[in-house]
Amino acid sequence: QQQVKQSPQSLIVQKGGIPIINCAYENTAFDYFPWYQQFPGKGPALLIAIRPDVSEKKEGRFTISFNKSAKQFSLHIMDSQPGDSATYFCAATRSSGSARQLTFGSGTQLTVLP
C-alpha cells in the first residue's frame, strides 16, 4: 500500500532528447507527488511537485503528467542537457492529517550525452 514503483532504473539520451521517467503508486490516500534530483555527493533537491487535481504541471524544462485513474505520474525533461545527468526520484505522501513521510521510488539514473 505504501509502495511507489519507478522505471526505468537507468536512462541514456542524447542532448536535446526528452527523457521520460514513470512512477506508479498504490495508496489512494497519497495526494502530493514531488520529484527530486540528486547529484553525486549531494542531497536530493526538489524539482517540481503536483497534486492530483491537475493533470499536468510545467516548470521550465520539467513537466509532470498525472493520471489519477491509473495511479501513475511521469516526469518529462524537455531539451535535455548534459547538466541534467543525475538520479531522479519520484515520491508521494499525504499532504494532510499526520506528519510528512515521503515514500520514494527507487530512482532513475539519467545520463545525457553531449
Partner 1 sequence: KAGVTQTPRYLIKTRGQQVTLSCSPISGHRSVSWYQQTPGQGLQFLFEYFSETQRNKGNFPGRFSGRQFSNSRSEMNVSTLELGDSALYLCASSYRGEGTEAFFGQGTRLTVV
Nearest-approach distance from CB 85 to partner 1, in angstroms: 18
Using the contact rule CB under 8 A, the part of the chain among 18-26, 53-61, 67-75, 91-99 near partner 1 is: 91-99
Q: Which three cell numbers stand for residue 33?
A: 507527488
Q: 66 forms bridges with which residues in the sheet?
A: 73
Nearest-approach distance from CB 55 to partner 1, in angstroms: 21
Give the chain as a 3 state SS string. Answer: CCCEEEECCEEEEECCCCCEEEEEECCCCCCEEEEEEECCCCCCEEEEEECCCCCEEEECCEEEEEECCCCEEEEEECCCCHHHCEEEEEEEECCCCCCCCCEECCCEEEEEEC
Tell me if 34 contacts partner 1 by CB under 8 A: yes
Out of 89, 92, 110, 112, the only residue in the binding site for partner 1 (CB under 8 A) is 89
Using the contact rule CB under 8 A, the part of the chain among 12-20, 21-29, 38-46, 55-63 near partner 1 is: 38-46
Nearest-approach distance from CB 94 to partner 1, in angstroms: 7
Contact residues for partner 1, defined by CB under 8 A: 32, 34, 36, 41-46, 49, 89, 91, 94-107
